[in-house]
Structure 1
Amino acid sequence: MNKQNSPENIAAQTPGLGRRDLLKLTGAGVAALGAGSLLNASNAKAQSISGEWDKVFPRSEKVDHQKVTFRNRYGITLSADLYQPKNRAGRRLAALAISGPFGAVKEQSSGLYAQTMAERGFVALAFDPSYTGESGGEPRNVASPDINTEDFSAAVDFLGLHPSVDRERIGVIGVCGWGGMALSAVAVDKRVRAVAASTMYDMTRVMSKGYNDSVTLEQRTKALEQLSRQRWSDAEKGTPAYQPPYNELKGGEAQFMVDYHDYYRTPRGYHARAVNSGNSWTQTTPLSFMNMPLLTYIKEIAPRPVLLIHGEKAHSRYFSETAYAAAAEPKELLIISGANHTDLYDRVDMIPFDKLQSFFNQHLSA
């Protein structure tokens, strides 16, 4: 691991006492979310569905695009972009449910993955998770390992009822923090025949244990005490407190924080609805993640195949390596030479789309 990305150096380089304390006390989970101190700075608002092409990537002329909605098991309406090959000629095709990264929206990385996989012959659905983007749910910008795992299965519900989809040939792709959600969903949802996770984060692990599992029991306990008491403040005010805007650079941040900024806060990947593009998660979002390990049952994905893709130089590489070790065969870990964590968000010369296509062609065959 690069020394500048060590837990000690990350904490030392993070400006502001509250922010530094959170890095220590919440297992660096706030850094994984985008970083922030416990201040009341909310600019999160419910979104309405846009009819415009407002993606951060160019529209492909090889696919048909449609905005769709569907409901999850908790009654939350999810918003999604459905991409279909133009040459489908009435055939029922294999389909993919796609989401991520954590704090992103479907107009960013997941949409790029979906449109590209549609160009390669799949029906692909990129969706906004509950409480974020154009999807429903109040309060805004809160996450849950349970509800967000359910979001993937709700996407499978939708695809399985779509006339263009062969419901026995559905796969899942999760990017970054939604890579962990994807693996969790497929472990429990036996309808899914194959799963790929790209530049995967296990959000429950990083929030409860910190980067490289560096957080002590004492630090974890202090974090939970702080977050628990924040609930009283939120309940008293009748609205949750939010962290400051994410991915703003003060100077001296670890390189991976600079990489996040270079994606989320520049024209490369900025989107106004994304939590990570200058918005914020609620302060208490880490609570459920700290007590619900996502990948406990990863072995139960088998005998369905798992493909893990990660950058050689990514600070998060160890998440995929340990998930690979815990998973049962058939499984594959593909390390992309020279790539960092965010390169696999949108660098089409680094994202192994040929591998994703061959993987799902093989395992979603008729």
Structure 2
Amino acid sequence: MELTQDWDKTFPKSDKVDHRKVTFTNRYGITLAGDLYTPKNGKAPFAALAVSGPFGAVKEQSSGLYAQTMAERGFVTLAFDPSYTGESTGEPRNVASPDINSEDFSAAVDCLGLLDNVNRDRIGIIGICGFGGMALNAAAVDKRIKAVVASTMYDMSRVMSKGYFDSTTAQERTEALEQLGRQRWEDAEKGSPAYGPVSLELQGGEPEFVVQYAAYYKSKDRGFHPRAINSNAAWTVTNPLSFMNMPLLSYIDEISPRPMLLIHGEKAHSRYFSESAYEAAAEPKELVIVEGATHTDLYDQMDKIPFDKITGFFNDNL
């Protein structure tokens, strides 16, 4: 692995934290790349946070912003690229898995728990957008995770298998699976996976939330990064397969008695994901709706992301 050592984030570097690149390996032997942020002030051992997301993003974008900000507030933080994406390894490129990507969070907990300046009994995680669902899934199975925050959360298994607002019919689902099966034959014959068109290349007439995604991922003044799938590439065509019948949040109630904080924008098209997760989860749980915020506002808008609330949550629960 040749990791970029230059500061190539989509946000300014803080003078309140130290930063270095790290690597660690998950249970499947995939080596993940991360950015480790450590407070310059404060006393070890620190509480620690692993951060990832959104779906199709890299650690130089939203997750890194969250990680650096929480390090300024006294936590050791690790923003990482999920398997098969960014600077992390895994072939083929640009593929996701509800299992492997949940495991990525647990591997990040492994990494944090081995650091001399971290109290391994005080580790939490933050998942953003599609990795909010992965974070909740990881927290349910990995009891080392003492608290979890999911910001502007997407349940990727639900939206891929059922469509937005569960609108996909049984016939449409069958047809989609048949098409994915045919694509597998084509990929097998070719010896490599087919990829979709470059993400978020707007043609006009797209829903407003898609326009908002493009405004983040395609703008060099905001969130564009050349390694991000959503900025400059595409997922494999068969990427939805494992999400179609492996529901991420089946065991969300088993996060309890450890606390869960869900954060979502009032005007986000995806708000119903957090509301449904909140209803299914057991106490202790909290759902914070940010007035006036859209889905992507919680990626990078510092006046909308409730960092004071997140900080208080982890201070109280780690």
Q: Structure 2-normalised TM-score?
A: 0.99
Corresponding letter in the other structure for 1:97: A
Deviation at 1:278, TM superposition (A): 2.4
Deviation at 1:229, TM superposition (A): 1.1
- Partners of 2:2 and 2:294 lie apart in 1 by 34
- Say whether 1:170 aligns with 2:128: no
Deviation at 1:48, TM superposition (A): 3.8
- Partners of 1:363 and 1:50 lie apart in 2 by 34
Deviation at 1:202, TM superposition (A): 0.0
- Partners of 1:69 and 1:88 lie apart in 2 by 24
- Partners of 1:253 and 1:213 lie apart in 2 by 20
- Partners of 1:87 and 1:313 lie apart in 2 by 37
- Aligned residues: CA RMSD: 0.7
What SS does the aligned partner of 1:282 have? Answer: coil
Corresponding letter in the other structure for 1:346: D
- Partners of 2:24 and 2:224 lie apart in 1 by 26
- Say whether 1:261 aligns with 2:227: no
- Say whether 1:304 aligns with 2:258: yes
Question: Unaligned regions of 5+ residues in structure 2, if any?
Answer: none
C-alpha deviations, 1:44-70, integer Å up to 9, x for none? xxx841011000000000000010000
- Partners of 2:307 and 2:111 lie apart in 1 by 24
What SS does the aligned partner of 1:276 have? Answer: helix
- State which of 251, 264, 267 in structure 2 corresponds to 1:313: 267
Question: Unaligned regions of 5+ residues in structure 1, if any?
Answer: 1-46
What SS does the aligned partner of 1:50 have? Answer: coil
- State which of 236, 242, 264 in structure 1 corresponds to 2:195: 242
Deviation at 1:87, TM superposition (A): 1.1
Name 2:227's counterpart in structure 1.
Answer: 273
- Say whether 1:290 aligns with 2:249: no
- Say whether 1:343 aligns with 2:288: no
Deviation at 1:168, TM superposition (A): 0.1
What SS does the aligned partner of 1:186 have? Answer: helix
- State which of 148, 169, 193 in structure 2 corresponds to 1:216: 169
Name 2:33's counterpart in structure 1.
Answer: 79
What SS does the aligned partner of 1:124 have? Answer: strand
What SS does the aligned partner of 2:12 have? Answer: coil
- Say whether 1:125 aligns with 2:63: no
Q: How does 1:98-109 map to 2 (within 5 A)?
A: 98-109=51-62
- Partners of 1:330 and 1:291 lie apart in 2 by 28
Deviation at 1:348, TM superposition (A): 0.5
Whether the 8 Å CA contact 1:248–1:278 is kept in 2: the answer is no
Name 1:23's counterpart in structure 2.
Answer: none
Whether the 8 Å CA contact 1:96–1:173 is kept in 2: the answer is yes
Name 1:328's counterpart in structure 2.
Answer: 282
Deviation at 1:88, TM superposition (A): 3.1
Corresponding letter in the other structure for 1:258: V
Identity rate of aligned residues, in percent? Answer: 73
- Say whether 1:185 aligns with 2:138: yes
- Partners of 1:186 and 1:331 lie apart in 2 by 13
Q: Specify which structure has the bigger relative contact order, considering alpha-carbon pairs within 8 angstroms and separated by 6 or more residues.
A: 1
Whether the 8 Å CA contact 2:147–2:317 is kept in 1: the answer is yes
What SS does the aligned partner of 1:126 have? Answer: strand
- Partners of 1:159 and 1:67 lie apart in 2 by 13
Aligned length: 317
Q: 4+ residue runs of structure 1 moved beyond 2 angstroms?
A: none
Corresponding letter in the other structure for 2:185: W
Corresponding letter in the other structure for 1:277: S
- Partners of 2:50 and 2:233 lie apart in 1 by 25
Whether the 8 Å CA contact 1:302–1:330 is kept in 2: the answer is yes
- Partners of 1:88 and 1:140 lie apart in 2 by 39
- State which of 21, 25, 48 in structure 2 corresponds to 1:95: 48
Deviation at 1:164, TM superposition (A): 1.1
Corresponding letter in the other structure for 2:132: G
- Partners of 2:271 and 2:6 lie apart in 1 by 36
Q: Structure 1-normalised TM-score?
A: 0.86
Whether the 8 Å CA contact 2:225–2:232 is kept in 1: the answer is no
Corresponding letter in the other structure for 1:206: V
